[in-house]
With several copies, the nearest count.
Chain A
Amino acid sequence: MTPESPRPNQATPNQPALQLYVPEPPARPGEEADFIHIDVPPAGIVPRPDIASAPADMREFPFTMIRVLDEAGAAVGEWNPDLTPDLLRTMLRSMALTRAFDERMFRAQRQGKTSFYVKCRGEEAVAVAAAYALDDKDMLFPSYRQQGLLIARDWSLVDMMNQIYSNREDRLKGRQLPVMYSVKEAGFFSISGNLTTQYPQAVGWAMASAARGDTRIAAAWCGEGSTAEGDFHSACTFASVYRAPVVLNVVNNQWAISSFSGFAGGENTTFAARGLGYGIASLRVDGNDPLAVYAATKWAAERARGNHGATLIEHVTYRAEGHSTSDDPTVYRSAGEPNAWPLGDPINRLQQHLTAIGEWDQARHAAMDTELAEQVRAAQKLAEKNGTLGHGLHHSMDSMFEGVFEDMPWHLAEQRQEMLDEWRAAGL
């Protein structure tokens, strides 16, 4: 205590001693996993409001969960987007490809070929289904865990790997941490390592599009933990005030590194409810139900396109593995969690649905998996020809000084020269 710190006031019957409440997750390592606090309503029960509905008429939506696929794999209820089997198979394939890519790149990091990798296992639907619900020209402002967006937009796996390896073909010239992609051609904004900064940027992009009479909308993603940053609040405030054509996604995967969602406020309300505070239409969906994610995103996109304003969507999902290659989740959460998770796995669920409607079978699935693994392996081979991190081929050292500004000012040119001179002098 500091010198001037007062003694606490004595408690009295009228004024009991205050207590500090500190959240605790339901289970820690060695304890039984428990998701009883996640209320899972039956599929199909939530009505689908008109896309022009006033937010004030939609205040109950944050407190339920939009689900389309029922336990038997049937698509039910008003939110059923009635997708063609072809599109369903495409979605399944993109999710499976995302997972195959993740597996391979995770292993590459373990093999010392790069410094860092982030998987999205269990959360593939959140990104992939959204990508299909949006227009190809809509602008995406992802976090580091939405690689599924790029894959669903058919972006080159080799190009992604080049970035992960920081090799000589890395379009980002080795400047960025692995997975911090930037793909303008695919409408995929440069990922930032600083959480939630993309949120107000997405709103700004959407406002600009609206100001120009464009038709393209924006969509942003952040984790439930990241909602605590001030940027989230700024973004929601601007999105509300200017009714920006933007879809704001919160990916509630229950964990933020070692902190369970209670440390982001998840014990006291839903993350979809954040939107209520701004008068923004807010939906809460089963994030492991690809059809629900598709339907909610489509609703929000149509709403935005119709100049009815922004939508906030909470995707309830589960981070099935560690935070990143730097993380070991067994240290802080119950090993039983992945199994206890009540919303299943998004790939399994879509597979089940396609099978249920007679458009898919075990054999085709197995064949697809084999083919995708091969596709990823082939891509990896190509990418590794361009080098892996710390091994041979990379951008030239002096490329470091380029692109800080459009034109290089004298002080950077001078520093570049200094570096080159030092090497030369050192005989390197």
Chain B
Amino acid sequence: MDDTNQSMSMIQAINSALDVMMERDDGVTIMGEDVGFFGGVFRATAGLQAKYGTHRVFDTPITECGIIGVAIGMGAYGLRPVPEIQFADYIYPALDQLVSEAARLRYRSAGEFTAPITVRSPFGGGIFGGQTHSQSPEGIFTHCSGLKTIIPSTPYDAKGLLIAAIEDNDPVIFFEPKRIYNGPFHGHYDRPAVSWAGHAAAQVPTGYYRIELGKANVVREGSDVTILCYGTMVHVVLEAIAEAGDVDAEVVDLRSLIPLDIDTITASVNKTGRCLIVHEATRTSGFGAELSALVQERCFHALEAPIARVTGFDTPYPHSLEWAYFPGPVRIREALKKVMKD
């Protein structure tokens, strides 16, 4: 482990993770729409084609089905493809290749063939992107056996988790909360944007390190209530707690949805007796439902109030009404009050 630290934004940390892994493993291959010469519409792959060549970093035709299908074939050959889906909203044409193929290849071939691919994709709202640049489809992937689903919330985690995902021999869906690529976002769209500079988790080692998949991070200890969240919402939740002032909440940043760190979750809820779940995705059958089910199955007798969910509403993502839709500090604060009262 190289322990020189450097201040990085999340996008820089992701770029660094890719760079480190391309350097270490010549099977790591990046592909996707506009990821090559241009370096990606969010610049995640900037500079990598120039450094590693077009054989290892290349633009693709605009077919998400093809991108994933081809990546699976490359993975079966023995490479470690890291395909990018330009926006998570465009992952659906690839769904069959992901859930029927990548997710099941190891199983159905009894380990003869595997799909060690890491699918990177920016997800989530907060950028006025409308219905097709804002979605949070992570719940779907958590329902499909054979896929891991990872979502970082800081530059440090993004790099360590992405490296672990690429090294993983199973397919990983790596959703990047695009709203916090360039700075943490606390949910107040009307306040000036802040950058990552100065944030503790923006101090990122320049070299190789990994964060084990399946380990949550308790980003704030507390005794009143457990808040389960991930991605952008971690920052919004922290802001809401700060604004509420009077609730000593424990905040668990899941980081890994599958595999889930159930021990950290149950330990926390057993301690606090209350639980609030926050995600941007639509509510019904979102990952929050699974979290709620798991928590009540395991912490039933410890629970003092119903587990509550603050989520995106069950509508398509509405362009101009984004800030009513987005689960911001107001909604979280109000939900906290309710959970504490019940």
Q: Among B130-138, B153-161, B192-200, which stretch is in contact with chain A?
A: B130-138
Interface string of B26-56 (1 = CB under 8 A from A): 1101000110111001000000000000111
The one of B69, B129, B283 that contacts A177, using a Cβ cutoff of 8 Å: B129
CB contact under 8 A between A204 and B313, given known A176-B131, A231-B65: no
- Is A397 a contact partner of B316 (Cβ separation < 8 A)? no
A36 to B165, CA, bound (A): 44
The answer on a CB contact under 8 Å between B78 and A22 is no
List chain A residues, Cβ under 8 A from B64: 229
Asked if B146 contacts A197 (CB within 8 A), the reply is no
Assuming the contacts A175-B316, A406-B170, asked whether A423 and B330 have C-beta atoms less than 8 A apart, the reply is yes
Q: Are B73 and A204 in contact (CB under 8 A)?
A: yes
Tell me, in angstroms, the Cα distance from A199 to B112 when the chains sit together: 19
- Inter-chain contact A204/B71, CB cutoff 8 Å: yes
Q: Is the CB of B114 within 8 A of A228?
A: no
In the bound complex, how far is the Cα of B77 from the Cα of A160, in angstroms? 23
Across the interface, do B62 and A256 meet the contact criterion of CB distance under 8 Å?
A: yes
A425 contacts which chain B residues (CB < 8 A)?
334, 337
- Which residue of chain A lies nearest to B168 when distances are taken between CB atoms in the complex? A406
Asked if A12 is at the interface of the complex by the 8 Å CB criterion, the answer is no
Q: Which of A2, A199, A401 contacts B313 (CB 8 A)?
A: A401
A192 CA to B68 CA in the complex, in Å?
15
- Assess the B65–A405 pair: CB atoms within 8 A: no
Task: Tell me the complex Cα distance, A1–B169, Å.
Answer: 10
Contact between A241 and B314 (Cβ–Cβ < 8 Å)? no
The answer, among B79, B96, B114, B169, for a CB contact under 8 Å with A197, is B96
A156 at the interface (CB under 8 A from B): no
B4 an interface residue at 8 Å Cβ cutoff?
A: no
**Which stretch (A232-240, A335-343, A349-357) binds chain B?**
A232-240
Q: Which of A116, A401, A411 has the most CB of B within 10 A?
A: A411
Compute how far the CA of A189 lies from the CA of B114 in the bound complex, rounded to whole angstroms.
Answer: 11
Residues in B neighbouring A249, C-beta threshold 8 A? none
Q: B139 in the interface, Cβ–Cβ < 8 Å?
A: no
Q: Which residues in A have their C-beta under 8 angstroms from that of B128? A: 115-116, 389
A300 within 8 A of B: no
Cβ of B266 to closest chain A Cβ, rounded Å:
11
- Complex contact A411–B262 (CB within 8 A): yes
Query: Are B77 and A205 in contact, CB atoms less than 8 angstroms apart?
Result: yes
What chain A residues lie within 8 Å of B302 (beta carbons)? Answer: none
Q: Is B1's beta carbon under 8 Å from chain A?
A: no
Q: B74 is contacted by which of A24, A193, A204, A257 (Cβ under 8 Å)?
A: A204
Hey, what's the 0/1 contact readout for B282-322 against A, CB within 8 Å counting as 1?
01100000000000000000000000000001111011110
Q: How far is the CB of B218 from chain A (nearest CB, A)?
A: 18
B207 contacts chain A at the CB level, 8 A cutoff:
no
Residue total for A at the interface (Cβ-Cβ under 8 A): 96
Distance in angstroms from A168 CB to nearest chain B CB is 10
A174 & B321 in contact (Cβ 8 Å cutoff): yes
The stretch of B9-17, B98-106, B229-237 that contacts the partner chain:
B98-106
Chain B residues near A193: list those with CB within 8 A: 89, 100, 130-133
Kindly state whether residue A287 has any CB partner on chain B within 8 Å.
Answer: no
**Do residues B109 and A184 form an inter-chain contact, with CB atoms below 8 A?**
yes
A67 to chain B, nearest CB (A): 28
> How far is B73's CA from A170's CA once the two chains are assembled, in angstroms?
24
Q: Are B330 and A403 in contact (CB under 8 A)?
A: no
Give residues of chain B (60-114) contacting chain A, Cβ–Cβ below 8 Å: 60-66, 68-81, 89-90, 92-93, 96-97, 100-101, 105-114
A201 touches B63 (CB 8 A): no
Contact A263 B59 (CB under 8 A): yes
In the complex, the chain B residue whose C-beta lies closest to that of A427 is B330
Q: Is the CB of A409 within 8 A of B259?
A: yes
B72 to chain A, nearest CB (A): 5
Of A5, A190, A258, the contact of B37 (CB 8 Å cutoff): A258
B37 touches A4 (CB 8 A): no
Across the interface, A400 reaches (CB within 8 A) one of B81, B262, B315, namely B315
Does A399 touch B at the CB level, under 8 Å? yes
> Are B145 and A205 in touch, CB under 8 angstroms?
no
Q: Are A175 and B318 in contact, with the CB atoms below 8 A?
A: yes
For residue B324, CB closer than 8 A to chain A, the reply is yes
Whether B110 contacts A175 by the Cβ 8 Å rule is: yes
Shortest distance in angstroms between B330's beta carbon and chain A's nearest beta carbon? 5
Cα distance A226–B61 in the bound complex, in angstroms: 8
Q: A2-B27, A4-B114, A400-B325 are in contact. Are A180 and B105 (CB under 8 A)?
A: no
B interface residues with partner A (beta carbon < 8 Å) = 25-27, 29, 33-34, 36-38, 41, 54-56, 58-66, 68-81, 89-90, 92-93, 96-97, 100-101, 105-114, 116, 128-133, 145-146, 148, 168-170, 214, 258-260, 262, 283-284, 313-316, 318-321, 324-325, 330-331, 333-335, 337
Query: Which A residues fall within an 8 A CB radius of B?
Result: 1-6, 20, 22, 24, 28, 115-116, 139, 141, 166, 170-178, 180, 182-184, 189-190, 192-195, 197, 199-209, 211-212, 218, 225-226, 228-231, 233-235, 237-238, 241, 256-259, 263-265, 326, 331-332, 389-390, 394-395, 397, 399-401, 403-406, 409-412, 415-416, 419, 421-423, 425-426, 428
Instruction: Beyond the given A1-B27, A200-B69, A200-B70, please list 5 additional residue pairs across the A-B interface where CB-CB is below 8 A.
Output: A5-B77, A176-B131, A234-B63, A238-B61, A400-B324
Sample of 16 A–B contacts (CB below 8 Å): A20-B55, A22-B58, A166-B320, A171-B110, A192-B108, A204-B71, A205-B76, A228-B61, A230-B93, A234-B69, A258-B59, A259-B62, A263-B60, A399-B321, A404-B107, A406-B168
